[in-house]
């Protein structure tokens, strides 16, 4: 396949994925949380903890992978001997991700290192502990109790010293507060307050990705090696344009 044909195929695939994402967003907006896949700049930022670990072997968990924007960045970076578990509750997205993994040329000799799980992360059965967890779940759409359950699950699945990275859309809470009912606005405030508690204890970085639509804020949290000194790990950086 020549370069022009490859480019045309990739462009057609992105268009198809965009429509798939939009359709599923309309069907399941509360669990999808967006109308478009993450941009490449956001995907790169979310995958950054894995890139920084190279060339060391890593166990990686991606949750809420959607149509695979971040998955595409992770797949080429998985060294031989590493493991990537992809968790996606939406069956249409999960089927798409399996096709993506099967057709990825970077996995010809390490396809058995990647698994797609069509389930919720709270229900994932695994004895693995992960060096990196990448979350694409729309926390702003969930109840506070569910967010707390998911965050607790992430911390349980992380190895001591492991990194969790996730994002939220900038300004979305304020827009929703103007357009939603008081109970809905209260739910969003409670979710934000809950996440701030995790930030205060575990955050090691925060960036704004202006190259995404809408702009997104990316957080990195780290499970402390010594839980007594967990609060000492808080070094939230200023936002930067990526």
Residue-wise pLDDT tens digits, 197-222? 999 999 999 999 998 988 999 999 99
**Which pLDDT tens digit goes with each residue over 161-174?**
999 999 998 865 55
Q: Is residue 50 within 8 Å of 132, Cβ to Cβ? A: yes
Taking a C-beta distance cutoff of 8 angstroms, is the pair 10, 68 a contact?
no
Quick check: 230 pLDDT over 50? Answer: no
Domain assignment of residue 19, yes or no: no
Residue 241's pLDDT is 40
| Region of poorest pLDDT, from 143-147, 158-162, 225-229 | 225-229
The CATH number assigned to the domain holding 83 equals: 3.40.50.150
pLDDT of residue 173: 57
| Comparison of pLDDT for 175 and 125, the residue scoring more | 125
Evaluate whether residue 110 is within a structural domain: yes
Name the residue range of residue 152's domain.
Answer: 39-233
Number of domains in the chain: 1
- The pLDDT of residue 213 is 82
Establish if 240 belongs to a structural domain.
no
Within the chain, strands assigned E span 59-63, 83-87, 114-117, 130-135, 158-169, 203-209, 216-222
212 within a domain of the structure (yes/no):
yes
Averaged over 151-157, what is the pLDDT?
A: 97
What per-residue confidence (pLDDT) applies to 178?
Answer: 60
Q: How confident is the model at residue 227 (pLDDT cuts 50, 70, 90)?
A: low
pLDDT confidence of residue 22: 45
Question: What is the Cα–Cα distance from 96 to 5, expressed in whole angstroms?
Answer: 22
Dihedral over alpha carbons 10, 76, 213, 24 (to 10 degrees): 70
Asked if pLDDT for residue 238 goes beyond 90, the answer is: no
> Can you tell me the distance from the alpha carbon of 194 to that of 173, in angstroms, rounded to the nearest whole number?
14
In a domain, 10, yes or no: no
On the question of pLDDT at 92 being above 70, the answer is yes
Q: What is the pLDDT of residues 39-65, one digit of tens each?
A: 999 999 999 999 999 889 999 999 999
Give the residues across from 207 on adjacent strands: 218
Report the greatest alpha carbon distance in the chain: 57
Structural domain includes residue 5? no
Determine, yes or no, domain membership for 218.
yes
Q: How confident is the model at residue 82 (pLDDT cuts 50, 70, 90)?
A: very high
Locate tokens 């998955």: which residue? 71
Bridge partners of 63?
Answer: 87, 135
The encoded tokens of residue 201 equal 């204890």
CA distance 50 to 134: 9
**What pLDDT shows up at residue 175?**
55
């Amino acid at each position: 396949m020549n370069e022009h044909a490859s480019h045309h195929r990739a462009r057609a695939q992105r268009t198809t994925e965009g429509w798939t994402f939009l359709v599923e967003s309309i069907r399941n907006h509360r669990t999808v949380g967006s109308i478009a896949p993450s941009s490449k700049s956001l995907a790169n930022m979310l995958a950054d903890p894995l890139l920084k670990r190279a060339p060391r072997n890593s166990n990686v968990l991606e949750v809420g992978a959607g149509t695979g924007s971040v998955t595409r960045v992770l797949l080429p970076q998985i060294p031989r001997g590493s493991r990537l578990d992809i968790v996606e509750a939406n069956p249409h997205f999960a089927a798409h991700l399996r096709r993506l993994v099967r057709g990825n040329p970077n996995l010809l000799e390490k396809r058995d290192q990647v698994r797609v799980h069509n389930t919720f992360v709270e229900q994932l059965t695994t004895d693995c502990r992960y060096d990196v967890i990448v979350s694409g779940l729309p926390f702003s759409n969930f109840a506070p109790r569910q967010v707390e359950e998911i965050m607790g699950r992430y911390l349980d699945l992380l190895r001591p010293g492991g990194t969790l990275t996730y994002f939220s859309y900038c300004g979305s809470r304020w827009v929703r507060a103007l357009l939603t009912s008081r109970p809905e606005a209260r739910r969003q405030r409670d979710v934000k307050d809950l996440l701030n508690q995790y930030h205060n204890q575990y955050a090691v970085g925060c960036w704004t990705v202006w190259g995404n639509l809408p702009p997104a804020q990316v957080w990195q949290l780290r499970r402390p090696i010594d839980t007594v000194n967990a609060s000492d790990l808080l070094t939230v950086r200023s936002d930067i344009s990526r």
